[in-house]
């Protein structure tokens, strides 16, 4: 089959993207036929692995799957100009830094970003143990050059010229801890790291993963304001994991095709402030009141599910890394000129009376191009009540973060 033509994959139902791709060579038992090129353009999951260039194009994806995926995420404008597949490969030209790269999220995230052909340079920073992570990762034959930086004296060099900075530095939640229990330690870590970002790469997209995101993003905003470099379009709280979980749980519950499902999740990133808008799910799906209640609560408490299952060994790292990699990939695609990039993220916002709010946004070269307000129109009674109920908690977390950054004090 010619590389440019659509490819048909055999896909089992309720499966992961990885297994979608690998299933091509497997038997067709209980399989569903997908036209890859059309379906994957709309797929909201991480696509970058399909980009990884191997000399022979004989990667684990298979040549046709990779080609179809490449085409599915190439901006429309470029497709018309392509004469051969050589022109389809994106240029590996962006620099990404991970601060907290030796941690549970940081290591897995570094691996996923190392697989992106959009990344020419991957800077890994931590206060300890990052040299080994970088040495290990640098042996993967993908384009990104991996460079390690340890300790405060190397932070400035890590950040110079970087396009996207991802911050998963901090301590994770342990059983019995709420996200707010993390506040004192992580607030201080984020404050220090964002000061360095302001001094060394003020134009970078900043992705905050360290919890409590509801407060650490306002802290970061205040730090950037104090340094005179705040651009609200480029500061993001990473809430992608809430969307990833919503998509997974709803796919399973309603036996939908994974590749079609996309659920906006708005509000914040802790407990009841996480509000999945099931009435706005794609594809349009009917839920009973019980299903709405069950799914909403599961999505809101999914972090606790993992914390308890890990029984003291940390919080979500693998799914978080996957979600963060998707958000990095979306940001790089937007910076690279793809005009069709939408993600849910926690940003400065005027969609409600709260100064920060997670919603779908359109991403562009300079960050947030538009907040998508339509998701908040025509909410169900359940969603409208949940939206009002989350506001006091989210407001308090925002104020706590701002007060901390302005005065260096904890108000809670």
Active-site residue set: 269
Q: Return the closest-CA partner of residue 93 out of 121, 122, 54.
A: 121
In the bound complex, what is the minimum distance in angstroms from residue 330's beta carbon to ligand NAD? 15
Cβ neighbour number for residue 191 with a 10 Å cutoff: 19
The nearer residue to ligand NAD, 317 or 330, going by C-beta atoms, is: 317
The nearer residue to ligand NAD, 49 or 126, going by C-beta atoms, is: 126
Alpha carbons 376 and 344: distance in angstroms, whole number: 13
Where residue 382 falls (left for φ over 0; alpha for ψ -120 to 50; beta otherwise) is alpha
Residue-wise over 280-317: b if at least 16 C-beta within 10 A, else e? bbeeebebeeeebeebbebbbebbbebbeebeeebbbb
Alpha carbons 276 and 287: distance in angstroms, whole number: 13
In the bound complex, what is the minimum distance in angstroms from residue 109's beta carbon to ligand NAD? 9
The nearer residue to ligand NAD, 66 or 109, going by C-beta atoms, is: 109
In the bound complex, what is the minimum distance in angstroms from residue 90's beta carbon to ligand NAD? 27
Q: Is 252 exposed, middle or buried (0-12, 13-18, 19+ CB in 10 A)?
A: middle
Q: Are 205 and 164 in contact (CB under 8 A)?
A: yes
Instruction: Please give the residue ranges that form the binding site for ligand NAD (CB under 6 A).
Output: 99-100, 102-106, 125-128, 168-173, 182, 186, 189, 192-193, 209-211, 213, 238, 241, 269, 314-317, 320
In the bound complex, what is the minimum distance in angstroms from residue 5's beta carbon to ligand NAD? 39
Nearest-CB residue for ligand NAD: 103
- In which residue are the tokens 């059309």 written? 38
The nearer residue to ligand NAD, 153 or 288, going by C-beta atoms, is: 153
In the bound complex, what is the minimum distance in angstroms from residue 49's beta carbon to ligand NAD? 21
The nearer residue to ligand NAD, 103 or 143, going by C-beta atoms, is: 103
């Amino acid at each position: 089959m010619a590389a440019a033509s659509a490819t048909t994959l055999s896909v089992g139902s309720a499966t992961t993207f990885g297994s979608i791709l690998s299933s091509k060579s497997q038997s067709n038992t209980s399989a569903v036929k997908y036209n890859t090129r059309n379906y994957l353009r709309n797929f909201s999951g991480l696509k970058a692995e399909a980009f990884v260039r191997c000399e022979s194009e004989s990667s684990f994806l298979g040549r046709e799957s990779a080609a179809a995926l490449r085409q599915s995420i190439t901006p429309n404008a470029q497709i018309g100009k392509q004469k051969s597949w050589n022109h389809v490969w994106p240029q590996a030209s962006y620099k990404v830094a991970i601060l907290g790269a030796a941690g549970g999220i940081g290591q897995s995230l570094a691996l996923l970003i190392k697989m992106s052909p959009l990344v020419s340079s991957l800077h890994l920073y931590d206060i300890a143990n990052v040299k080994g992570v970088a040495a290990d990762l640098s042996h993967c034959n993908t384009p990104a050059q991996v460079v390690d930086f340890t300790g405060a004296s190397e932070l400035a060099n890590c950040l110079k010229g970087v396009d996207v900075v991802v911050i998963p530095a901090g301590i994770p939640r342990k059983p019995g801890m709420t996200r707010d229990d993390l506040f004192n330690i992580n607030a201080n870590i984020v404050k220090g790291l964002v000061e360095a970002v302001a001094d060394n790469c003020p134009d970078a997209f900043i992705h905050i993963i360290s919890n409590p995101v509801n407060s650490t993003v306002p802290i970061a905003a205040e730090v950037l304001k104090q340094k005179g470099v705040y651009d609200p379009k480029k500061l993001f709280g990473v809430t992608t994991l809430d969307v990833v979980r919503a998509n997974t749980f709803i796919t399973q519950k309603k036996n939908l095709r994974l590749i079609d499902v996309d659920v906006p999740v708005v509000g914040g990133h802790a407990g009841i402030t996480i509000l999945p808008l099931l009435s706005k799910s794609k594809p349009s799906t009917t839920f009973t009141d019980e299903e709405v209640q069950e799914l909403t609560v599961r999505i809101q408490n999914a972090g606790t599910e993992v914390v308890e299952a890990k029984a003291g060994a940390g919080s979500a790292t693998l799914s978080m890394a996957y979600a963060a990699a998707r958000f990095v990939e979306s940001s790089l695609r937007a910076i690279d000129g793809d005009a069709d990039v939408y993600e849910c993220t926690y940003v400065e916002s005027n969609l409600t009376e709260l100064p920060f709010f997670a919603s779908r946004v359109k991403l562009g070269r300079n960050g947030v191009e538009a907040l998508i307000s339509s998701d908040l129109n025509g909410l169900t009674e359940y969603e409208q009540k949940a939206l009002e109920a989350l506001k006091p908690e989210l407001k308090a977390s925002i104020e706590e973060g701002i007060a901390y950054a302005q005065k260096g004090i904890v108000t809670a």
